Each structure stands twice: as C-alpha cells, then as structure tokens.
Structure 1
Amino acid sequence: MSLADSDHDLIRAELGRDPTPEEAALFENLWSEHCAYRSSRPLLGAFDSEGEHVVVGPGDDAAVVSLPGSDDHWITLGIESHNHPSYVDPFDGAATGVGGIVRDTLSMGAYPIALTDSLYFGGFDREHTRYLLEGVVEGISHYGNCIGVPTVGGSVAFHEGYEGNPLVNVACVGLLPSDRLVTAVAQEPGNKLVLVGNATGRDGLGGASFASEDLAEDAETEDRPAVQVGDPYAEKRLIECNEALLDEDLLLSARDLGAAGLGGASSELVAKGDLGARIDLDRVHQREPNMSPLEILLAESQERMCYEVAPEDVERVRELAARFDLGCSVIGEVTDGNYVCTFPGEDGDDNLERETVVDVPAELLADGAPTNDLDSGDPVQPERDLPDADLGEAFEAVVASPSTASKRWVYRQYDHEVGLRTAVEPGDDAAVMAIRETETGDGNGVGLALSAGAVPNWTACAPYEGARAVALENATNLAAVGATPLAAVDCLNGGNPEKPAVYGGFKGIVDGLADMCRDLSVPVVGGNVSLYNDSVAGPIPPTPTLAMVGTREGYSAPGSALSGEGTLLLVGDAGGALGGSEYLATTGGSDRFPALPETPTPTLRAIADVADAEGTLAVHDVSDGGLAVALAEMVTDDAGLSAAVDDALALFDETPGRAVVETTDPESVTERFDGVADVVELGSADGSGRLELTVGDESLEYGVAEIRELRDVLAQGLD
C-alpha cells in the first residue's frame, strides 16, 4: 500500500512541502482505513454513546462505565479485530489480538478480568478451515491462559463467506477503582514520554496498512512480516508493572502500542491533549541492530506501553520496570509544538548531527484524514420459498450444524476459572463474573454478565434486521441469567467498502445495531471497525459482533440445563418467518427475516425477573437453530423432556427475545408476562434423559447419547 495521490496532495498543502519518507509512511498508516475509519466514520454517529453510567465513551483505548450500586469501582470495555493476521498466521494473529485488547485495558488504569472471543470461519468441512480454527483457538488459549485472564464467553460461526478471510474479534473487561482512571490525553509540556515493555523489533511492520487492504491469494506467505509475534509472559509482567505504577500514582497518561506502533501511540496521545512531542528514536530500546527510523516508528512489536511521566518520577518508573524485568526508555517529552522525531545523522554524533525525520502537527497526523464519500446499494429481502424437507433429517442437520453444535471443544481449552471470579461459566447463555469488591455487609455484590457474538446467517440475509436481532439476542442472553443490560461495544466487520453493495450491507448493520441498542437503552460506548475483509473468495457477510455487559444482584443464576422436575414454557413473541435460519441454510429455500418486537425491553425485564424467581429451575434463550437446538441443549444424562409444537416453523424459527423456562410455578410466569409477551406451554421435563418432540402429527425421539453425538461435530472433526 502507498499514500494515495489525493492524500499526498493534501499533506503537501498542509505542510507546505513534500513529506519525508518517514512522514509519508506515518500518514499512510495513520490515515489508513484501519486507524482512521475513513469509510465508516460518517456512519458511526448513529450510535448513542451517552448514558447515566458512561464515564468515558468512544475515542480512548477502552470505554469506562460505572457499576450500578457501587460508588467505588468502574469497569472498562474494549473490543478489537485481528482478522487479516489470523488468516496469515492463525496462532500469532489471534494471540496478539488478545494481547492488544488487554493492553487497551491497562492504559485506562484497569486490571483485566475477563475476555470473550467471537470467531468466524468458512465451511467446517474444509481442511483449511479446520487448520485456521485450531490455530486461532490455540493462540487465544495460550496467550489468555499465560497472562491469567479468563476467557469466559464468545461465539463460533461457520459460513462460506469467511472461507478466504476469517474473523477474530476479541473483547476485554477490566476493573478499576474509580479514583484510578488514566486516559490517553497528554497533560502538560515538559513531561517525559517513557516506553516500557519489550524491545522493539521488525515484526508487524505496516500492520495498519496491511489491515486496510483486501487479502491477496498469496497473503499467507507474502504478508507474514506484517503479523506481530507475541510474548504472553512479558505481557503478564507488563500487567503487574502497570499495577505497580498505578499504585504509586506515577502515570499521567498512557497509550498502548498497537496499530502503527510507536508512531501511532505517541502521536495520538499528544494530539488528544492538543500538544506535540519531541522524540529521539534512537533512544528506543531495540532487539535488532541497525533499525531505521521508519522501522522504529512503525514496528508493531508487542507488549509495549507509552507513558507520560512527570520528570521527577522517571527514575522510579525505571526502577519498577527493572523489578519486572521490562525494558524502559525515556524517548522524549511532551511539547507545545509539532510532533517531531529525530535520529542521529550519518556521522553518528548524537550532539551535532541529529536529523529531523518527522516534523508535523500531531493533530493532522492523528485526526486529519479525510472521510470517504462512498456509494451504497440497498439489499433486497427474498420472498418465501420454503423447502419440503423431512422433519427428522432437518432436525438432525440443524442440531449437528457446526454453527449451532456444541462449542465445548473450543471453550474447554480456555482457563475460564483463573482469577476465581467466574460464577457462571462458558456453555450457558451468558457468563457471570463476581465483582466482590462491591460486596456490602450482607456479602452480596454485583454480578457482571457478559455476552458476545453475531449470527452471519442473519446479517447475510438481511443486514439491518439481522443486526437488530444480534443486539436483541445478546440482551436476551443477559436476561436469561437475570441481568439488566448496562453497556456494549461493537466490532463492525465488512468487506471492501468501495463496492456499493458491500457498503450498503455495512451501513445496514451499523444502523440496525444502533437502532436496537437505542430501543434497549443500551449505550454503545466504543468499538472497532474492520473493513476490506475481502479475498479471492469474495467479501465476508457484514458481521456486527456485539459484546454486551449487564448487571445483576448477586452472582448465582439459573443454568440452561434441565432439572427434570418442572413445566416447560416458551416466553416471548415469535417472528413468523425463517429467513436467516439454520433450517434454511441446511435444507435450502428462502424467506423474509422474522419480525422483531417493537418494544423488546418489557419482555427482557420479564425474562430477567423470571430467571430470579424461586420456582425457576432453568432458563435458555431461543436463537440459532430455534427451539430445536434450545431443547436439545437443555437435555442431560439425568433430565429429559416431552414437548409439542405446531409445525416446522415453530420448531426452527430463530426470532430472538424468547426463552424456554423450566418452572415449578407456571402460573406466576404466565402472570409476569401478562400484557407483555406470549407464553406457550411446551410440555414438561422429566428424569428420562430423552428428548421427545411432537411436531404437528409427527414425532421425534432421541436419547441424550444420540443428541451428544449429533452436537459434538467440532470435536469429531478435529480429533
């Protein structure tokens, strides 16, 4: 990638001269789509980002949100993509995605307490897909397990549109005392800029510009130098060093080194404070000899932080970095002028012949990229064309589809118990973390619920409606564990925006996500955009990964597994269509997307109330695969069910905002939903360990071993 002619002309006009090679490369990376959001920025104003509990919204490394019921502790939320790197090098690409979002958390003064990963791959029947899946999961598990941050949730989906371009979206939640907040806004001229962490090498050069291009056919070999290489043990030391620096109140501002490396982090930090900097690039501690100024500026070597530190505190920062066996360089200082970088001249005399390789306004570099004015096309919803499918074959195909099947093979590789906070573990609708710092005298504290993911079948069928459904689905997951939504961050993934149909689909997911989050009164406090996810296989489906958090009183929540003793009720309104469903994906045909409730919040509040009711034994949301998958997932060795539905539409409809409730008090559940949403009695749970379904005048019956065999397709395909 090179600087576009129009950008070069604009920069030349602003500077009054041609940019130096180092300046041109900095502009190329910081004005790339990956860093500057040139195509998506005009759309992002659709999101509501303010709210009662929002402390820091979009624009910093991570968002900060206060916890209801606690005056002393806040949480951070952040999400990022590492899509192209994970195709080129699945292990390192995914691992460094985890490392990057954790450092975003550190830079706000928070300690990371939970991760979610949302993964999207091509057809599971392809050997290359399984290679990518194994590498990505191994990278996430290795890095997260080594640094001691539990991976507690997420999603895994398979769709042919990801064959040449998988997606790896990772979110992180952090916790901080409310008096410990640090931001990426430089404070005052004269303060020192200190680089702490690993030495700088040549890995990850041009990563930001690489992420702003379509993947080429030879990307796995030609683009490998653009992929960073992580060291989780250094990251763990950096986490603890960051805590020590915060304990002694030594940090005035902070920015982690991610996209565009040192050049990106340092210029953005001072630009946010309307300030400048003078940086001596040769002072950066390096692991490779003879690095050029350009390499030092743009290398995306991992496990590095840039701090603003008062001059009198620099020596103490050095001491703490040494305690944790981390490199530490005082690379320059904050100024009230331009962003200036120098390097020794050819004679090597540091005092006499320093060459100025960068001298530009920081604001122009960090925030001056013009937006793109792109055409968009409107997607068309299909008409109804339902297949005449055998019920038993369709049920088994849907339950055994890799997208709806058990993800146990994935999440069992993650240490989800490290830190001793995980009260509800992966495998249920949402994870719940115990925020014990908020406990009162009765020992009851805030339970923080997390849900993350998207459903590409939905957004491929209907971008706007599908994105609305993604937001509602994540909120329903929270309600199923008795939580009320608090805030969300998004990772908006799309193909090449220069194609009108692709940009139209991307616009649809932005508007759909924004509208439903507004309807739910959930502020979207930050996020990430990843475009140019195109390859020789074509563009990906528009994919709006949402990571949503909610709170509940206490940490215990009903599980989704049957107890075998209650009545089964389906609560919530059905949408009356099968568009975007796994049923149509496996059997063929088309349909319009299901209608979603106009006012979903009362239904979610009712589900959350019922989840905490004394007579409730289990709650499980209905989404991917419809009732067929929800009921199959609820059966255990010791608990089965007998249920009846009207027809295949009722069995496979995937309308979110609904849940199956096992209860010993069906009357109170029905009363709670009176005037709110439909309640349908499905049948009853028992101790049989069998699934017995009546669909119209047809019957299906499976033992738990048969269901497990159907649902374990990932483990079977990867063993």
Structure 2
Amino acid sequence: MTELRPHLDTVETATTTPDHEQPWSDLGLKPDEYTEIREILGRRPTSSELAMYSVMWSEHCSYKSSKVHLKQFGEKVTDEMREHLMVGIGENAGVVDIGDGYAVTFKIESHNHPSYVEPYQGAATGVGGIVRDILAMGARPVAVMDPLRFGPLDAPDTHRVLPGIVAGVGGYGNCLGLPNIGGEAVFDATYAGNPLVNALCVGVMRHEQIHLAKASGAGNQVILYGARTGGDGIGGVSVLASETFESTGPAKRPSVQVGDPFQEKLLIECTLEIFAEELVVGIQDLGGAGLSCATSELASAGDGGMHVWLDRVPLRDSTLAPEEILMSESQERMMAVVEPANVARFLEICEKWDVEATVVGEVDESSRLTIEWHGETVVDVPPRSVAHDGPTYHRPYARPEWQDRLQDDTAAALARPSTGDELRATVLAMVASPNLCDKSWITDQYDRYVQGNTVLAQPEDSGMVRVDAESGLGVAVSTDANGRFAMLDPYAGAQLALAEAYRNVATSGARPLAISDCLNFGSPEDPDVMWQFAEATRGLADGCQTLGIPVTGGNVSLYNQTGQTAILPTPVVAVLGVIDDVARRTPSGFVEEGQQIYLLGATADELSGSEWAHVVHAHLGGLPPRVDLAAEKELADILVNASRDGLVDAAHDLSDGGLAQALVESCLRNDIGARVWLPDGVDAFVSLFSESAGRVIVAVPRSEEVRFTDMCAARGFPHARIGVTDGSGPDAVLDVQGQFTLPLAEVRAAWTATLPDALG
C-alpha cells in the first residue's frame, strides 16, 4: 500500500525531512503553536500529527483563550456545592446525585457556526453530539432542550436559517424518541449572520452505572463502533468555531457533519445493553475533532498509552487519507476500551443491533499514542500534549472605553405610556413582539411528550421529566440568558441569567442542584470581547458560590461575529433541579377561578435593557436590573416549600416583559381571566413593565392563603396580593383595574400571529 501512496508522510520521513513545508497556517495554527509542536516532538510533525494538533488545539476543543478564566468554577467550589456532585468538569458531562440511588447527567453545548453554514444538518448534529456526550457517561438520554438565537425576524437570512435549524433540532430529536421540553428563541440584530444553536441533553442512570472516558489496562482492546467514517465533517466544528466569519467574500465552508438519527438510536440502545453487561473499561463519543479527540483523550486519561491501526477504521469513502480520517467529524460513532475476554460479547451485541464494530487499537504501557497506516507509523505523540496540554492564552482585555457611555444612556428619558389606553396598546404591542410572542410555530415541530415521562414542557417556565414512576422522583431544567443585560454589564448579566434559570426551576417546585453553561461570545482577539467574557465568567462563578450550586460542565463558543460585528455577549445558563414527587409540580398557568394572585419580590424602576425599551424604542443603554442572589435563594425556598405543601396552584416568574407578560401568559395557558389591581405607590407603567429580578406571581387557593402569607411574613419576604383569577373560557378578560381591560381572545390573537405571519 505504501507504494500506492508515495506521498504518505510517516514518522520516519518526518524525521529525515525537517525542512518540508507544511500547511500549518491553513489548518488554523499560529506560528508559535507550530513551533511548539516541533519542540514537543523533537522534529516536524507528520501530516497526520499536524491534523490532530490543529483540530485539538483549535479554540473549540482546547479552550485556549478561556481556560484561564474557567478555572474559577473549580477554585470557588464550596462544600455545599459538592454535596450532590458526583462527576464535575473535565468529563463528557457532569453528574449529580438526585436521591434514591439515581444520578442525572446533563450538559449544554453549541453548534453555532455549522448551523449557519448548513442549518438543518448543523442543528441536527448538534443534538446528536450532545446526546452522545450524555450516553458516554453511562446514562439513558431522557430529554433535550434548545436555546436558540436569530437575527431580526424580518431579515431574509433569518428566513433562511430559522426553518432549517428548527427542522434539524426537531427532526433529529423526534427520530431519537427524545422529548424536547424547553428552550428559547430570541431575536436580535447582532445574531444576523451568526445564529446561536445551543443544545442540551439530560440523562438518567443509577449511581453504579457511571462511566468515564479513560483507556486503562495494558492489553485492553480499543473498539470503534457505530457509523462508518466519511468525508463529511472534515474540519467541521473544530475549525468552523475557531475563526470569525467575514462579512464579505465567500463563506468559510468546511464540510458540515451529516446526521443519521436512526443510526444514533441503534447506537444508544446498543451502548446501553453493553453498559448493562459491564463490558467496557472506558468509553468516549466521537464529536468535535473525531478520532483525533477520542484516541488522544482516552489515552491521556488512562494509565498507559495506546496503539491504533488506522487502516482498520471502516470508511464510507475509500479515498480518504490518514489525516482526513483523523479529522473527520462524521456522526454516530463511539469508542470503547474493552478487556480481551469481553470483546466477543461486545461485538455480538453490536451485531444484534446492526451496529458495525471494529477493533482498531490496543492499550499499551508506552505512555505514547501511536497510530499506524498499513504498517507505517504516521503518529507518535505524547497523548496529553494533544488532548490536554495545548496552548494557554492570557488574552489582553480591558473595560471598553464605550462602556461608560452605554451605561449612562439610560431608559429614563424614553417616552412612557401614561394613560390606560396607552398601557393597553403597549401590552398588545409587547405580546406580539418576536421575543415575547407565542413560539408554538417552533415548539409544535418538536415532540414534547414521547416516552411518557414529560411532566412540564414549553411554554412552562421549566421542563420537567419523571425519573422514577413508582416514587414520582423527577428533575426540572431551565435555560436562560439575556444578551442585552450582559451587554450593559457582563458580570451582572451572567448572574441575571443564572438567577432567572434558578428561579424558573424553583417555580415548578424543584430544588435547584447544579448548572451547565454555554458561553457564547465574539472574538477573543478583541480586548473588549475578552473583557466581557472575563466579567461574565467571574459573575457566574461568584453567583454559583452564593447560591451554593456547582457548574458541572459546559461549553465555550467564541468567534461569534461577522466581520467586526460581535453578537451580544450571551452566557446561556442551564439549571437542573430535583423534585421528590412530580405530582406536586407547579404549572405556570392559572388553573381555576377564584384564586388569589400574589406578587412576590420587590419592584423598582428598572427599564434599562428591558424588552419594552427594545421593542418600543429600539434602545439599549443604562444598567440592568439589580441582582440579589440571597433574595433569589430565599424566594426559591419559598416556592419549593409552597409546591410541596400544596399552598400554590400556579407560579410564573417575572422576567422579559415584566408583570404584564407574566399575567398574559398565565391567563392564556388555560383561558383563565384575572382581575388585577396594581400596588400602591408604584407607577402603573413601572408596575407592568419593569424587569426587576427576584419576582414571581403565584395563584393561591383561598383555603391556603393564611398559611402562604404566614410563611412569607415569617421569612420577611416581600409579598402583596395584587388580584384574583376571575372568569374563564372565550369571554375571559385581563382587567387591570383603573387602567384597561383586555379580552383574552384579543390578546391571544396578537400573541399567536407573529411567527406564522412572518414564516408562513
């Protein structure tokens, strides 16, 4: 075979041709990085080694610009935060103990740039990749979520990418039989040309079923199983996500991965049966960087080395060169380390599920990762140098000189509605705005109830699934972010995202336990952007410390900008909570007439960065709402206890759009009207549209009102009765006394028309 490939670049030829020119720059490596690789190896790299280092040292895989800041998530961990943590940062996904011998693993990641290039496949394979991360931990995937960000709803490119992305998310998840229980769809001009597609997956297992990514035990066999390796995805996310899109010229288009959800479904069931028979020593999914990642990370985390026969890898394209095979990000592939005595049974299970499996390597005692191609060694590297010891950048950053001007430009001078008619018109305009309107056009494309364990799903504040049918044990998850708040103050903006997701989980009755994050920012080579990232990361780490919940893992997505236009800094935070009995859950919509509506928390004149300022005035400036995480923790405790004790029948957090939006959504959920009186001493407009944090409305049965108010009073937590649920059905209204009355039918017509009118 060697004579058929006279160009084959082996370790031997690399040693004897030190001056051979290599395309390191085309592969995204910097001059000093290429020099460092030569120093590590004591020679020039082979083309296969160069391919491996280029994808593994990319921004997407190595976190080279962000890891100096991410270490805070480990440094600021307290004993309280470790209480439920079983597996933390560094593995495929974090794992938390939820009681009764059950553990839950969850993680959120990005597939932003591939989804711009090929919307359907980019989004679909983003779902597939995060599902395999969860599977690799030993868990059965049970639910997915999808926080999405797009350019303006009326922009032509939004009409190109949005339908494909939504179809990709739904198509892949639906085929896997995984319910999509939550997420977001947010529109802003900065995401034009750079949509954000973040995907989250939740998995469930018993404590003893946890698996880790490591190649241990000399003589153990390395098995690649799943789909064949093809040319799709060469350079994929690892390269795409590591450079800024240019606003002019041809789009950078390396091959985006192509997903096959039916193959992944077989892979899931096959892997779970393999786990059940305890046949693997270590396991890793193949995602970003493909075989380069799987082989180097498994070997690096093990106690020896690994030798791989690359020519044994099953191919869809026989013309692929070794370096292309190593860089391919073809989907639906896993790699397992198996003791020799278990190999036959492993292969037997794979055959049963029609999953192709091949022994492609062996664990050895060399402390090296060596890869051969038809008898010739094409890779001989220290695995840690590829997988874990890549470059670490201390990027320069500084508070932007324009930040003060931005914060000084508050919403105070903006014209505000003052009459009842003006307030009424504003409510209708707000509920019909792209960010606040009904998202059913999107969510109806997702199966939210497959598997039969979904308890809450969109448009609830958080998604909830049952884990154990006998006890009713369940988990709730919410994802949140507000890029406008983070733009005004990235430290506070990250904490506001954390607080909102934390609050949304608590409104359902679940106790928050842990977070995963997806930190979406512009180019790290811009000191302004790097300052935003540093501040947001610091805010998130400090916030988790105050709330007492750990970051279990996540993802950083940088270079999210087109030309010089960066996206709004968008730290997406996913909070997971546990509920002892899902029968005690609290929905967000009002459920019956005659219940008392209480507003919990304090309202201030906080309109800067609000949805009102954005929709009505296209304004962004000032300071975001004040964050009080101690109050958020107290509020969450009230909500969890109230749910457990049956003191509330509905709860809805106040965030985007303020009280007006929360009332509208609570009424529309079940066509239950409300009669509301606004608190004394607070301007009606501020009462309705302020986005002060730490607030929730609840519906309290009359029989439980005294117990509920006593609980709030005993804790000294602000609470005020602001209304009563009143009327139901087609004639129900939202009556804000002394200001305006809105028939729910009129509100629903405005709320539901926006996306269908825009997208067809």
Q: TM-score, normalised by structure 1?
A: 0.94
In structure 1, give the amino acid aligned to 2:245: L
1:578-625 deviation digits (Å, cap 9, x = unpaired): 122101112235432111225121121012222344342321111111
Post-superposition offset of 1:336: 2.1
Query: Where do 1:118-137 residues align within 5 Å?
Result: 118-137=147-166
Query: Where do 1:301-316 residues align within 5 Å?
Result: 301-316=330-345
Unaligned runs of 5+ in 1: 345-353
Query: Where do 1:386-401 residues align within 5 Å?
Result: 386=412, 387-390=414-417, 391-401=423-433
> 1:376/1:145 Cα in 2 relative to 1: closer, same or farther (>3 Å)?
same
Unaligned runs of 5+ in 2: 1-26, 418-422
1:636-658 deviation digits (Å, cap 9, x = unpaired): 36421121323212211112321
Hey, what does 1:290 align to over in structure 2? 319
Post-superposition offset of 1:383: 4.4
Equivalent residue for 2:624, pick from 582, 587, 593 = 593
Distance 2:172 2:541 in 1: 32
Is the contact between residue 564 and residue 687 of structure 1 (CA under 8 Å) also seen in structure 2?
yes
Post-superposition offset of 1:668: 2.8
Matched, 1:457 2:484: yes
Following TM superposition, the consecutive aligned residue runs of length 4 or more in structure 1 with deviations greater than 6 angstroms are none
Post-superposition offset of 1:662: 1.3
Distance 2:184 2:166 in 1: 12
> 1:577/1:147 Cα in 2 relative to 1: closer, same or farther (>3 Å)?
same
SS for the counterpart of 1:175 is: strand
Hey, what does 1:351 align to over in structure 2? none
Hey, what does 1:357 align to over in structure 2? 378
Distance 1:46 1:383 in 2: 32
SS for the counterpart of 2:408 is: coil
Distance 1:167 1:478 in 2: 23
SS for the counterpart of 1:179 is: helix
Post-superposition offset of 1:573: 2.5
Matched, 1:602 2:615: no
SS for the counterpart of 2:208 is: coil
1:299-335 deviation digits (Å, cap 9, x = unpaired): 0000000000111222222221111111111111112
Hey, what does 2:24 align to over in structure 1? none
Distance 1:318 1:219 in 2: 49
Equivalent residue for 1:524, pick from 551, 571, 575 = 551
Is the contact between residue 598 and residue 723 of structure 2 (CA under 8 Å) also seen in structure 1?
yes
Equivalent residue for 1:39, pick from 47, 55, 65 = 65
1:361-389 deviation digits (Å, cap 9, x = unpaired): 00111112121111222243234343113
Is the contact between residue 602 and residue 676 of structure 1 (CA under 8 Å) also seen in structure 2?
no
Query: Where do 1:481-520 residues align within 5 Å?
Result: 481-520=508-547
Distance 1:512 1:625 in 2: 24
**Deviates further, 159-168 or 445-454:** 445-454
Post-superposition offset of 1:415: 1.1
Matched, 1:668 2:707: yes
Query: Where do 1:634-649 residues align within 5 Å?
Result: 634-636=666-668, 638-645=671-678, 646-649=683-686
Hey, what does 1:348 align to over in structure 2? none
Hey, what does 1:368 align to over in structure 2? 389
> 1:511/1:520 Cα in 2 relative to 1: closer, same or farther (>3 Å)?
same
Equivalent residue for 2:85, pick from 36, 54, 63 = 54
Hey, what does 1:2 align to over in structure 2? 28
Post-superposition offset of 1:678: 1.1
Matched, 1:651 2:688: yes
Post-superposition offset of 1:393: 3.7
Hey, what does 2:722 align to over in structure 1? 682
In structure 1, give the amino acid aligned to 2:685: A
In structure 2, give the amino acid aligned to 1:667: V
Hey, what does 2:735 align to over in structure 1? 692
Matched, 1:477 2:504: yes
Post-superposition offset of 1:28: 1.0
Distance 1:23 1:704 in 2: 64
> 1:218/1:235 Cα in 2 relative to 1: closer, same or farther (>3 Å)?
farther
Q: TM-score, normalised by structure 2?
A: 0.89
In structure 2, give the amino acid aligned to 1:213: E
Distance 2:158 2:283 in 1: 38
Hey, what does 1:150 align to over in structure 2? 179
Query: Where do 1:210-221 residues align within 5 Å?
Result: 210-217=240-247
Post-superposition offset of 1:420: 1.2
Post-superposition offset of 1:457: 2.2
Post-superposition offset of 1:676: 3.4
Post-superposition offset of 1:537: 6.6
Distance 2:629 2:334 in 1: 45
Is the contact between residue 66 and residue 73 of structure 1 (CA under 8 Å) also seen in structure 2?
yes
Post-superposition offset of 1:10: 1.1
Matched, 1:206 2:235: yes
Is the contact between residue 607 and residue 659 of structure 1 (CA under 8 Å) also seen in structure 2?
no
Distance 2:626 2:187 in 1: 24
SS for the counterpart of 1:708 is: helix
In structure 1, give the amino acid aligned to 2:242: S
Distance 1:299 1:65 in 2: 32
Is the contact between residue 622 and residue 654 of structure 1 (CA under 8 Å) also seen in structure 2?
yes
Distance 1:327 1:45 in 2: 39
Hey, what does 1:347 align to over in structure 2? none
SS for the counterpart of 1:251 is: coil
Distance 1:558 1:335 in 2: 54
Equivalent residue for 2:747, pick from 704, 707, 712 = 707
Equivalent residue for 1:336, pick from 344, 365, 369 = 365
Is the contact between residue 157 and residue 455 of structure 1 (CA under 8 Å) also seen in structure 2?
no
> 1:534/1:274 Cα in 2 relative to 1: closer, same or farther (>3 Å)?
farther
Q: Kindly, what percent of the aligned residue pairs are identical?
A: 39
Distance 2:154 2:89 in 1: 39
Post-superposition offset of 1:416: 1.4
Distance 2:431 2:242 in 1: 37
Matched, 1:415 2:447: yes
Post-superposition offset of 1:126: 1.2
Cα RMSD of the aligned pairs, angstroms, is 1.7
